Structure 1
Amino acid sequence: MSFLSNIFDTVVYMRPDRLTGATPWHGHIPFAFWLVRQLRPKIIVELGVHAGNSYCAFCQAVERLNMSSACFGVDTWQGDEHGGFYDESVFNELKQYHDPRFGHFSSLLRMTFDEAVELFDDGTVDLLHIDGLHTYEASKHDFEHWKRKLSNRAIVLFHDIEVRDRGFGVWRLWNELQSQYPTFAFSHSYGLGVLQYGSDIPTTVSSLMTSDDNQRMAVQTHFQTLGERVNLLWQVRELSDRLTMANKDLQSTDRLLDQARAIESQLRAENEQLKTDVNRLTSELGAEIDQLKRTVQIYETSTSWRITRPARSMSRVIRRLARRQ
């Protein structure tokens, strides 16, 4: 099997289960799947986990390939000047996703990189992904500090080797390391540097470092295309989630409209009842007034009313005289 045929391993077409936010690491997930398959690392360490897109890709590959690897994600989950600072929700959400699925072979180590390095024996880490603070000084410190922990079959990944603004300095470190170690570099998705540290590397992986320009271009194009597919998948999921939320909002709006229609119907019924009551009361009052008018008319036409008319007139005259007095 030729070197280039190996990059078409079916594992690279596996759909990533965890895709959160518009992170550039989406574009490197197919390569992460391929690298875990080819390298078969016993210990994987990621420095700088954040929401866990890259780290969960490594864990997903280990799980799907039924490997006996141990994985460790190291982060303080407080953020930094490049990745931004954030609250507890980022770590809590990742932990809720990670622990039930990957907890039997993977650990999230909430501590600094310098604290975590003391937990590992020298020469044991087969795959190290450095993705912490991206200044030149910080990335160089992380590499130099963890170098003694790397095994004789270790691969080291450096993300953001193509970013040259906002104080990023991984590109400077990468330029230095290229003259010291066999390397391969991807330019898409902010760039990913692949460094061969150990000498006992599977041929399928070490061939990356010794490939010629045409082969490198073919590998770059292949994994960039797969990375764009992952980005499209994330966009579809985002649109699907938005559509689901829109449908929920629409259903909520429909319920509110139904409630409004029910209230309107009730108000109409109450209004009709009120009209009926007013008409009835008006009719009853009219009947009582007519009855009163008839009673007055009867009194006014009666004999007693006529006989007492002079007395009523005299009474009115007396009252007027009394008021004048």
Structure 2
Amino acid sequence: MREHPWKSAASYWEPARFAGSAWYQHAPFASWLVDAIEPRTVVELGTHNGFSFFVFCEAVKRLGLDTTVTATDGWMGDEHAGFYGQAVYDAVAETTAAHYADIGELHRGYFDEFAPTTAEGSVDILHIDGRHRYEDVRHDYETWLPTVSDRGVVLFHDTTERKRDFGVWKFWDEIRDRHPSFGFEHGHGLGVLAVGENVPPRLEAFLAAGRVEGAAIRAFYYERGRRISDAAVAWADAARYAAASAGLADAERRVADLESSTSWRITAPVRRVGAALRSRNSR
């Protein structure tokens, strides 16, 4: 029986590593997309803890592609993602160096700083996931569009999120009919926009199937994504348990160090007198 053109073995891959993210449920499609179009360059605008970036890097690694995946972020946060400190960037950099040194690149700074230094027509996958106001996502798209190749695809995260001042949904509604597109509704929404004139054959087949089998495609990737988010919950629980255990072990070690110290032994008589007085006063 022939496999559907909108899924492959890559659609079933489990993430090699997790990090806190609202993007868990799109990992299966991201892996499929890398498999389907074999990009030369992937650029991500907005990386935070690095989960989506690691998914792209892992797919490239597993497929043995000669691809560069670039994460561009200020690693300071914003009013949508929240603000955070240096530790977040350090963790992403450490994972990248340890597992994706020949694939991943980190560009720390504002998106606009790196657009002029990115070769025109060089990016095959552009993932836009920065600040989510309407004017922000429109600006990011228009600024980076010249860098997208003639076979390129743009991904927009949070296309179904309408809380607070999120405006990706509005921009997606405006632009999705200008080029071949498909929209996922789960995981806060993911818009897939084939902006290049030469759409890769497997992506073209996916988009054609989407016009006929859209419900089946969404159901399949919803279920695959749900499994990933469930795994992420288990990972987070294990991480919290490990942290709590490490904290307890550290506390026990400090107590043991204290009790074996010279000062603890010297002050033992004083503690015994204090204990005796407390016992006498409690009678």
TM-score (norm 1): 0.74
**C-alpha distance in 2, partners of 1:152/1:71?**
18
1: distance between equivalents of 2:248 and 2:108? 41
Q: Which residue of structure 1 aligns with residue 74 of structure 2?
A: 76
Query: Does residue 17 of structure 1 match 2:10?
Result: no
Pairwise CA RMSD of aligned residues? 2.5
- Within 5 Å, give how 1:1-325 maps onto structure 2: 5-21=4-20, 23-211=21-209, 214-245=212-243
Structure with the larger RCO, 1 or 2 (CA within 8 Å, 6+ apart)? 2
| Alpha-carbon shift at residue 24 of structure 1 (Å) | 2.1
Conservation of the 8 A alpha-carbon contact between 2:120 and 2:146: yes
Q: Which residue identity is paired with 1:47? A: L
Contact conserved, 1:82 with 1:166, CA < 8 A, in 2?
Answer: no
CA contact (8 A) 2:43 2:127 kept: yes
CA contact (8 A) 1:158 1:170 kept: yes
Quick one: structure 1 residues 255 and 186, their matched pair in 2 at CA, closer, same or farther if it must change by over 3 Å? same
Task: Return the offset for 1:63.
Answer: 0.7
Map Cα deviations across residues 94-132 of structure 1 (whole Å, 9 max, x no partner).
111112221222210011111101111111110000000
Question: Would the alpha carbon gap of residues 221 and 250 (structure 1) be closer, same or farther in structure 2, given more than 3 Å must change?
Answer: same
Larger radius of gyration: 1
Is the CA contact (8 Å cut-off) linking 1:208 and 1:216 kept in structure 2? no
Q: 1:98 to 1:257 in 2, by over 3 A?
A: closer
Counterpart contact for 2:75–2:89, Cα < 8 Å: yes
Q: What displacement does 1:251 show? A: 6.2
* Matched position secondary structure for 2:182: strand
Query: Closer, same or farther in 2 for the Cα pair 1:162/1:257, shift >3 Å?
Result: same
In 2, Cα distance between the equivalents of 1:246 and 1:95?
25
Given that residues 30 and 56 in structure 2 are in contact (C-alpha distance below 8 angstroms), is that contact kept between their aligned partners in structure 1?
Answer: yes
1:45-90 CA deviation, whole Å, 9 max, x = no partner? 0000111010110001001111001111101111111111111111
Check whether the contact 2:31–2:56 (CA below 8 A) recurs between aligned residues: yes
- How far, CA to CA, are the matches of 1:256 and 1:66 in structure 2? 47
Q: Tell me which protein shows more helix as a share of its residues.
A: 1
Amino acid of the residue matched to residue 19 of structure 1? F
Structure 1 residues without counterparts, runs of 5 or longer: 260-266, 272-325
Q: Percent identity?
A: 35
The answer (yes or no) to whether the contact 1:51–1:90 under 8 Å persists in 2 is yes
Q: Helix, strand or coil for the counterpart of 2:130?
A: coil
C-alpha change, 1:187 and 1:257, in structure 2 (3 Å) is same
Q: What amino acid does structure 2 have at the position aligned with 1:155?
A: V
**Residues 59 and 256 of structure 1: is their aligned pair in 2 closer, same or farther, counting only changes over 3 Å?**
closer
SS at match of 1:211: helix
Change (3 A) 1:250 1:210: same
Q: 1 CA distance for matches of 2:249 and 2:99?
A: 33
- 1:27 touches 1:228 (CA, 8 Å); kept in 2? yes
